[in-house]
């Protein structure tokens, strides 16, 4: 892993301060952070909890690819992409992306690019548990 | 030709399995292999909305499978 | 101050976890955070430290106005805008903006709107101290 | 007409003062007041790149000053 990329897929709780500490840098003027949190509702139905599973080695490769593309596309210094797997409750954190840059626009653009791309390409799946049963998100037969 | 098939998300539920060893009689492209699965695994119940990754990288329809490949069935992802 | 706005101008160090804790909410799926940090350079010159001063009561009013406009313009739940004043060193944090929303696009848009507007309207001034002297930023006679 | 003038940033350095009590002989608009300051305070050294806030709110050029107003001289801000 290069010095300016931190990738993690873990069953431990994600820590905002870890991502922040990784990307902060004396040459940086701005840090953009996106934190995904578990909502209590999906389409009006109460969510009890979520279960995230991953194809872990491939997920790490795809997250690394997103980080490298972000560094290539935008003028940024460092990027951290951390994803949690396993059972999560309301307000728990499935994902944190942190990006530092000399100028803030690049940090915002890169952070948004990274989360948008993660949601399209990284092999991680979310099962929502409701009172009435459970559903694999995005998987309609 | 021997391959390992890994199933994730809804596909591991449908197949009631995370990992299957398969012997294919001939070499196939990714798109042929998807048709083969849908035809031969009734548990899939016609579910065809998935991508294929070979050895931990997305593979397009025209790529050919090779001996000992690890072939992952990737339903629409929903991380983040 | 309304329940969904946190505004602070303080000479104590800003805390990321305070801003995060204020905006997190069970109905939220995403939180966008911007952290401004003190860079070690401005136009190639080494910065030793910064000094922030404010017209404090007006700064608080203008920050509150930005928060209210953000809530009106975007579909967001809560917003925190905290600014430090006094002497800051390299890597210290002059500003933190955190925004929570059901859907992430609004959080990103609102967070960027808030920092862009803060830099245009909030009466806070930065003096950069170099080896060779000091300069009020943006104030060329 | 008595007003309080507050100076910030580079303007407090130039004026060597944060706060000045002024008595104006007549009511003035914001733009008249800026001209008056530049003419009467040689310490400003011609610096005219500032906005005016009256009682903690930005005031446009045509607004009139009133007795006991707190008038702030706001050079270009540089927070964040």
Average pLDDT, chain D: 97
Which residues in chain C are closer than 8 Å to A17, comparing Cβ atoms?
16-17
Q: Does C49 touch chain A (CB under 8 A)?
A: no
Q: What is the CA radius of gyration of chain B?
A: 12
Contact A139 B75 (CB under 8 A): yes
Q: Does C90 touch chain A (CB under 8 A)?
A: yes
Which residues in chain D are closer than 8 Å to C58, comparing Cβ atoms?
53, 56-57, 72
pLDDT in tens, A9-54: 999 999 999 999 999 999 999 999 999 999 998 888 899 999 999 9
Residues B37-46 have a mean pLDDT of: 94
> How far D43 CA lies from chain C's nearest CA (Å)?
12
List of domains in chain D:
2-74 (3.10.20.30)
Residue-range definition of the domain harbouring residue C100: 5-128
Which residues in chain A are closer than 8 Å to C91, comparing Cβ atoms?
24-26
d(CA C107, CA C33): 9
A51 by Cβ neighbours in 10 Å (0-12 / 13-18 / 19+) ranks as: middle
More confident residue, A131 or A60: A60
| 3-class state of residue B10 by DSSP | helix
In a domain, C44, yes or no: yes
Which residues in chain B are closer than 8 Å to A64, comparing Cβ atoms?
none
Q: Does C123 touch chain A (CB under 8 A)?
A: no
Q: What's the CATH number where A21 sits? A: 3.90.1170.40
pLDDT in tens, D10-27: 999 999 999 999 999 999
In this prediction, residue A43 carries a pLDDT of 84
Instruction: Give which of C89, C83, C87, C93 is closest to C123, Cα–Cα.
Output: C83
In a domain, C10, yes or no: yes
Contact D75 C61 (CB under 8 A): no
> Between C61, C122, C140, which is nearest D79 by CB?
C122
Contact A138 B75 (CB under 8 A): yes
Q: Which residues contact A36 (CB under 8 A, 6 or more apart)?
A: A93, A94, A95, A96, A115, B80, C29, C30, C104
Q: Which residues of chain C have pLDDT under 70?
A: 1, 141
CB-side exposure of A48: number of CA atoms within 13 Å? 7
> How far C54 CA lies from chain D's nearest CA (Å)?
8
Element (H, E) at D7: strand D2-7
Interface test with A, best of C18, C30, C37, C103 (most A CBs within 10 A): C37
Q: Is the pLDDT of residue B22 over 60?
A: yes
> Between C16, C24, C104, which is nearest A91 by CB?
C24
d(CA B44, CA A61): 28
d(CA B62, CA C1): 61
Which residues in chain A are closer than 8 Å to B77, comparing Cβ atoms?
119-125, 138
The model carries a pTM of 0.95
Which residues in chain C are closer than 8 Å to A16, comparing Cβ atoms?
16-17, 20
Q: Is the pLDDT of residue B28 over 80?
A: yes
Angle at B63 between CA B59 and CA B67, to 5 degrees: 95
In a domain, A139, yes or no: no
D75 DSSP assignment: P
Contact D77 C122 (CB under 8 A): yes
Q: Which residues contact B30 (CB under 8 A, 6 or more apart)?
A: B52, B54, B59, B60, B61, B62, B63, B64, B65
Q: What is the DSSP string of B43-76?
A: GGTT----EEEETTEE--TTPBP-TT-EEEEEPP
In a domain, A84, yes or no: yes
Q: In chain A, which residue's Cα lies nearest the Cα of B47?
A: A141
d(CA B37, CA B11): 12
Total number of domains in chain C: 1
- Residue A57 — very low, low, confident or very high, per pLDDT cuts 50/70/90? very high
In this prediction, residue A30 carries a pLDDT of 96
* Phi and psi torsions of B17, nearest 5°: -165, 145
In a domain, A117, yes or no: yes
Q: Does A108 touch chain C (CB under 8 A)?
A: yes
CB C127 within 8 A of CB C139: no
In this prediction, residue C78 carries a pLDDT of 98
In a domain, C35, yes or no: yes
Phi-psi region of C104 (alpha: psi -120 to 50; beta: other; left: phi over 0): alpha
d(CA C69, CA C110): 9
Q: Is the pLDDT of residue D39 over 60?
A: yes
In this prediction, residue A141 carries a pLDDT of 58
CB C58 within 8 A of CB D53: yes
Beta strands in chain A (DSSP E): 5-10, 30-36, 41-42, 45-54, 78-84, 86-89, 95-101, 124-130, 133-136
- Residue A107 — very low, low, confident or very high, per pLDDT cuts 50/70/90? very high
In a domain, A68, yes or no: yes
Which chains form contacts with chain A, at 3 or more CB pairs under 8 Å? Answer: B, C
Contact D77 C121 (CB under 8 A): yes
| 3-class state of residue A104 by DSSP | helix
Residues A73-86 have a mean pLDDT of: 98
In a domain, A137, yes or no: no
Instruction: Give which of A77, A101, A72, A73 is closest to A6, Cα–Cα.
Output: A77
Which residues in chain A are closer than 8 Å to B13, comparing Cβ atoms?
136
More confident residue, C44 or B38: B38
In this prediction, residue C67 carries a pLDDT of 98
d(CA D79, CA C43): 18
Q: What is the DSSP string of D25-51?
A: SS--BHHHHHHHHHHH-GGGTT----E
Average pLDDT, chain B: 97
């Amino acid at each position: 892993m290069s010095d300016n990329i931190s990738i993690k897929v873990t069953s431990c709780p994600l820590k905002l301060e870890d991502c922040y500490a990784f990307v902060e840098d004396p040459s940086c003027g701005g840090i953009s952070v996106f934190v995904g949190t578990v909502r209590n509702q999906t389409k009006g139905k109460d969510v009890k909890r979520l279960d995230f599973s991953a194809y872990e080695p491939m997920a790490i490769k795809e997250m690394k690819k997103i980080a490298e593309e972000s560094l290539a596309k935008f003028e940024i210094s460092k990027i951290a992409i951390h994803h949690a797997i396993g059972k999560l409750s309301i307000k728990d954190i499935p994902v944190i992306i942190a990006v530092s840059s000399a100028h803030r626009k690049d940090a915002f653009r890169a952070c948004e690019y990274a989360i948008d791309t993660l949601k399209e390409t990284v092999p991680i799946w979310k099962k929502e548990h409701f009172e009435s049963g459970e559903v694999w998100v995005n998987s309609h037969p | 030709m021997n391959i390992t098939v890994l199933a994730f998300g809804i596909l591991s539920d449908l197949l009631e399995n995370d990992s299957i060893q398969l012997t294919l009689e001939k070499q196939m492209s990714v798109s042929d292999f998807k048709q083969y699965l849908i035809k031969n695994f009734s548990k899939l119940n016609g579910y065809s909305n998935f991508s294929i990754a070979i050895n931990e990288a997305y593979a397009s329809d025209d790529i050919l499978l090779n001996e000992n490949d690890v072939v992952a069935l990737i339903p629409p992802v929903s991380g983040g």
